[in-house]
Chain A
Amino acid sequence: MREVVRFLQNGRVVELADVRPTETVLDYLRLRRGLVGTKEGCGEGDCGACTVAVGRLVEGRLVYQPVNSCIQFLGMLDGAELVTVEDLAENGQLHPVQQAMVDHHGSQCGFCTPGFVMSLFTLYHAPERQATRKTVTDWLAGNLCRCTGYRPIVDAALEACFNEIDDAFSRRADESIAALQAMEQDTRDVFIPQAEGGFFAAPASLDALAELAERHPQATLIAGATDVGLWVTKQLRELPQVIWLGRVRDLDRIEETPGGVLMGAGTTFAAAHPYMARIDPDLGELWRRIGSRQVRASGTVCGNIANGSPIGDSPPALIALGATIELRRGEDSRTLPLEAFFIDYGKQDRAPGEIVTGLYVPRLDPNHAFRCFKISKRFDQDISSVLCALRVTLADGTITEARLAYGGMAATPKRAEIAELALIGARPDRPSTWAAALKALADDFAPISDMRASDAYRKEVARALLAKALVEIGGTPDERTRVSGLRSGEVDHAA
Chain B
Amino acid sequence: MNTQFVGQPIRRVDGRLKVTGGARYAADFNLDEHVYAVIVNATVGLGRIVSIDQAAATRLPGVIAVISHLNAPRLAYHPHKGAIDPATGERLHVLQGDQVRFYGQPVAVVVADTLDQAERAAAALSITYAAKRPAVDPSASDTTEIMAEASKGPKAYYPADTARGDADAALATAPVRIDAFYDTARENHNPMEPHATVARWDGDRVTLWSKTQFVVNEQAEIAAIFGIPTENVQVISPFVGGGFGTTLRTWSHVTIAALAARQVGRPVKLALTRKQMFFTTGHRPRSLQRVALGATPDGKLTSIVHEGRGETSRYEEFIEALTAGTGFMYSCPNVRTQYRIVPLDTGTPNHMRGPGEAQGMFALECAMDELSYELGIDPIELRRRNEPEIDESTGKPFSSRSLMPCYDRGAELFGWAQRNPAPRSMRDDREYVGMGCASATYPVLFSPTRARARLLADGTAEIEVAASDMGPGTYTSMTQVAADALGLPLDNVRFSLGRSDFPPAPPHGGSQTMASVGSAIRAACAAVLEAAARNREVRPIEAEGSAQRDPEVAARFSMHSFGAVFAEVGIDSDVGTIRVRRALGVYGAGRIVNPRLALSQCTGGMVGGIGMALMERTMLDARDGRLVNAHMADYLMPVNLDIDRLEAHFVDEEDPHVNPLGVKGLGEIALVGMAPAIANAIFHATGTRLRNLPISIENVLTA
Contacts and interface: CB of A to CB of B under 8 A. Distances in A.
A345 interface: no
A146 B607 CA distance: 8
Interface string B608-646: 100000110001000000001101111011111111001
B95 interface: no
B601 A108 contact: yes
A108 B473 contact: yes
B274 A375 contact: no
B444 interface: no
Interface in B571-621: 572, 574-577, 579, 596-597, 600-608, 614-615, 619
A380 B640 CA distance: 8
Contacts of B120: 236
Given A137-B641, A383-B634, A484-B579, A460 B192 contact: no
A110 B23 contact: yes
Most chain A beta-carbon contacts within 10 A, residue among B607, B614, B628: B607
A379 B642 CA distance: 6
A483 B634 contact: no
B643 A110 contact: no
A86 B116 contact: no
Interface stretch (B8-16, B411-419, B556-564): B8-16
A234 B631 contact: yes
Contacts of B21: 35-38, 84-86, 114, 117
Contacts of B602: 149
A457 B702 contact: yes
Interface string B233-257: 0000001111110000000000000
Contact of B16 (A94, A154, A380): A94
A109 B697 contact: no
A109 B22 CA distance: 13
Nearest to A236: B123
A487 B92 CA distance: 56
A44 B471 contact: no
Interface stretch (B24-32, B434-442, B450-458): B24-32
Contacts of A467: 574
A211 B312 CA distance: 59
Contacts of A42: 274, 631-632
Contacts of A37: 20-22
Nearest to B603: A149
A49 B192 contact: yes
A146 B640 contact: no
A367 interface: no
Interface stretch (A328-336, A397-405, A447-455): A447-455
Contacts of B25: 39, 111
A30 to B, nearest CB: 8
Most chain A beta-carbon contacts within 10 A, residue among B12, B429, B596: B12
Contact of B633 (A44, A102, A136, A151): A44
Contact of A105 (B575, B597, B698): B597
A270 interface: no
B350 interface: no
Given A468-B574, A484-B579, A103 B20 contact: no
Contacts of A146: 190-192, 242, 244, 604, 607-608, 637
B213 to A, nearest CB: 11
Instruction: Say what secondary structure dominates the interface of chain A.
Output: loop
A150 B16 contact: no
A114 B470 CA distance: 16
A382 B471 CA distance: 26
Interface in A369-406: 373, 375, 377-383, 385
B273 interface: yes
A321 B200 CA distance: 61
Contacts of B192: 39, 41, 47, 49, 109, 111-112, 144-147
A47 B194 CA distance: 12
Interface string B271-287: 10111000000000000
B668 to A, nearest CB: 14
B161 interface: no
Contact of B642 (A108, A151, A380, A464): A380
A27 interface: yes
Contact of B639 (A20, A113, A136, A379): A379
Most chain B beta-carbon contacts within 10 A, residue among A94, A101, A111, A480: A111
B16 A379 contact: no
A477 to B, nearest CB: 15
Interface in A65-92: 84-86, 88-89
Contact of B600 (A102, A152, A457): A152
A47 to B, nearest CB: 6
Given A31-B114, A37-B21, A151-B603, A107 B638 contact: no
B539 interface: no
Contact of A108 (B604, B634, B696): B604
Contact of A461 (B28, B632, B701): B701
A409 B628 CA distance: 20
B600 A105 contact: yes
A451 B629 contact: yes
B19 interface: yes
Interface string A459-490: 01100110110000000000010011000000
Given A137-B640, A146-B637, A457-B701, A34 B16 contact: no
Contacts of B702: 454, 456-457, 460
B640 A141 contact: yes
B685 to A, nearest CB: 15
B643 A94 contact: no
5 contacts: A98-B19, A101-B18, A150-B643, A152-B600, A377-B615
Interface of A: 20, 23, 27, 31, 34-44, 46-47, 49, 84-86, 88-89, 94, 98-99, 101-103, 105-114, 117, 136-138, 140-141, 144-152, 154, 234, 236, 373, 375, 377-383, 385, 451-454, 456-457, 460-461, 464-465, 467-468, 480, 483-484
Given A105-B597, A451-B619, 7 more contacts: A36-B27, A107-B19, A110-B471, A147-B604, A152-B600, A375-B697, A381-B639
Interface of B: 11-12, 14-25, 27-28, 30, 114-116, 119-120, 123, 190-194, 239-244, 271, 273-275, 429-430, 469-473, 572, 574-577, 579, 596-597, 600-608, 614-615, 619, 628-629, 631-634, 636-643, 646, 696-698, 701-702
